[in-house]
Amino acid sequence: MVYKAFGLTTKIPVKAFSYTSDSTKPTVHEADNGSGSLLHREFCSKCGSGILEYGAAAANDFRYIMTGTLDDPSALPPKGEFFCIHREKWMPEVPGIFHKDRVKD
């Protein structure tokens, strides 16, 4: 399984999400995330930037939006960190939020 150093996503209800421009449909990639679950990811078809992701279990309820794609990311500060077991030694812990080594801790 491949782990990236870190990523920041914002969990929102699926009913609260919509694209504001229909000029370009996102590129969709679906694959097993290494644990037997299907992971759905959407990317900008022009530049390749990640837009959102969600697993099969969240498909009807939530979207995990790449926080950097939001118009005002400061409006949704982080509430917690997951996969802290994979934190790079140089990356500090975010203070004042919960920390989990794994999602199911």
- Return d(Cα 51, Cα 43) in angstroms, integer: 5
Which residue, among 28, 8, 6, 1, has the nearest Cα to 74 in the 3D structure? 8
Residues 24-37: b if buried by 16+ CB within 10 A, e if exposed: eebeeeeeebeeee
Please state, in angstroms and rounded to a whole number, the distance separating the CA atoms of residues 80 and 95.
9
pTM exceeding the 0.75 threshold for the entire prediction: yes
- Write out the chain's pLDDT in tens, 105 residues: 455 667 788 899 999 988 877 667 899 999 887 777 888 999 998 889 999 999 888 999 999 999 888 889 999 888 888 888 888 899 899 899 888 887 764
Integer Cα distance of 101 and 80 in angstroms: 11
